[in-house]
Amino acid sequence: MTWETVIGIETHVELTTASKMFCGCPVDFGAPPNTNVCPVCLGLPGALPVVNGRAVEYAMTIGLALNCSIAPHSVFARKNYFYPDMPKNYQISQYDEPLCVAGHLDVDTDGEVARIGITRVHMEEDTGKSTHVGDGGRIQAASHSLLDFNRAGVPLMEIVSEPDLRSPEQARAFVAELRGVILRLGVSDAKLEEGSMRFDANVSLRPSGSTEFGTKVEVKNMNSLRSLQRALEHEVERQQALLDAGEPVVQETRHWNEDAGTTSGMRSKEEAFDYRYFPEPDLVPVEVDDAWRERVAGALPELPAQARARYASAGLDPVAADLVSRDPAAGTIFEEATAAGADAQTVANWLTGEVTALLRRQDLSLEQSGVTGAGLAELAEMVDDGRLSASAAKEVLAGVVAGEGNPESIAAERDLIQVSDVSALEPVVEEVLAANPDAVAKLHEGDGKVIGFLIGQVMRATGGKADPAAVTAILRGKSA
């Protein structure tokens, strides 16, 4: 029996609005605990929520970018459950009448494009944060827990996909593309490690060719694209082993354990919560008229797919096109550098190669680094002019990333400027020729191989700073 993998993904994205979803408290993640709170987001009796219009607009932006229909009338609901970091004991969310429905996102996996359905995009609010004190931060062994409600009430969007994904790799590509869309829209910083974008993956297997779905398992706690793919690969293997042995898959939520590389059961459907959803009595429905929807649709920026097509038709390779189309910081730097005359593929190669590696090593984001479009253009020009060798350019780039200044000053400071000026190189070449009469004789006999030796001597005499191309040209002139 062969099995087909079926995956659907639920993604949560925290919006970067100035204030929270239902109160005026600032959205600011660096603030000291419990300083951005008020009676509304603390759930004090009698406090009344008011919808943040900008958050609704951001939600519409996401829905429209994902080709959803925007409901002219949508409703908030109370989702009731108890958790210490949720002060009201219910979360305001949307239930049976969400803002955005029935969209899609095209996902390219190694050149194969699949259209993944988007079931819905709805608005809700985030919870607070608990910190468990003692024994490695685990709740089981904690002496006590601390609560920070700064995050309680931050606008949170839930994006639900249809079960249209067919492999862990495709699921990863879907989340990467979705993150690119969110970043391009500028509605969230969508940081996976820090949790401003989080996702749960639902996965099941079914006999190949079957149209019915198998029993699904929900996997939680992946905080990178890599762990999403690993968790799904592990879960597919686990389910396949069960099914091959004739055992049923139990519908449950499983926890991904990054270090062990395995999933373990959390709770099964039988003990699942009954959320007792009902319409939020303190909020009016959200009414979106045509004019509002059209205005938001008209202001959508270029999305990754469009940018990627534009870059691809300009001849950029797919890896580079992916990076600069999905990451707006990289995209802006790329556009600025090429507008200033730098070669597109050269800049893209630096961004996807050297710069990405350096940032990872130093745990920096592109925005935190010293990399700018103007800086990369200057660097490219120095290489073109023969003033920097390819390897020296990489050294200068490291300085640029570390924020040491512009390429000119870094190259000068590190003494990396290459000499390609003929009048400066001539005397050195003459000296080398005078010291090597045998080689000169061979040169005149037309022995081409001796040029390499002479170039080496000139490089040595200049401490490696001569431009080999310029030296070669001078030597060829002398052999003629």
Q: How far is the CB of 8 from ligand ADP (least distance, A)?
A: 2
Closer to ligand ADP by Cβ: residue 5 or 418: 5
Element (H, E) at 104: strand 100-109
88 binds, among ligand ADP, Zn ion, none (CB under 5 to 8 A by kind): none
From residue 141 to residue 160, the character string flagging contacts with ligand ADP as x (rule: CB under 6 A) and all else as - is -------------------x
Run of H or E including 5: strand 3-14
Q: Which of the listed partners (ligand ADP, Zn ion, none) does 41 bind, with a CB threshold of 5 to 8 Å by partner kind? A: Zn ion
The number of helices, as runs of H, and strands, as runs of E, in the chain is 16, 16
CA distances from 447 to 345, 439, 450, 452, 476 (A): 37, 9, 6, 11, 11
Q: In whole angstroms, how close is the CB of 22 to Zn ion at the nearest point?
A: 8
Nearest residue to 337 via CA among 353, 356, 324: 324
Judged by CB under 6 A, does residue 232 bind ligand ADP?
Answer: no
In the list ligand ADP, Zn ion, none, the entry touching 202 (Cβ below 5 to 8 angstroms by class) is ligand ADP
Q: Total number of residues binding Zn ion (CB under 5 A)? A: 5
Q: How far is the CB of 181 from ligand ADP (least distance, A)?
A: 17
12: its two tokens: 């949560």
Strand partners, 253: 218, 267
What residue type is 167 in one-letter code?
S
Instruction: Find the shortest distance in angstroms from Cβ 251 to ligand ADP.
Output: 8
Binders of Zn ion among residues 35 to 74 (CB under 5 A) are 38, 40-41
Least distance in Å: CB of 214 to ligand ADP?
6
Residue 103 binds to ligand ADP (criterion: CB under 6 A): no
- Return left, alpha or beta for 97; rule: phi > 0 is left, psi -120 to 50 is alpha, else beta: beta
Name residues contacting ligand ADP, limited to 7-36 (CB under 6 A). 7-10
DSSP assigned state of 236: H
**Is residue 228 a contact point for ligand ADP (CB under 6 A)?**
no
Select 27 or 382, whichever has its Cβ closest to Zn ion.
27
Helix (H) or strand (E) holding 291: helix 290-298
- Indicate which single residue of 17, 150, 202, 418 sits in contact with ligand ADP (rule: CB under 6 A): 202
Name the DSSP letter for residue 118: E
Query: Helix, strand or coil for residue 472?
Result: helix
Return residues touching ligand ADP (CB under 6 A): 6-10, 160-163, 202-204, 213-214, 216
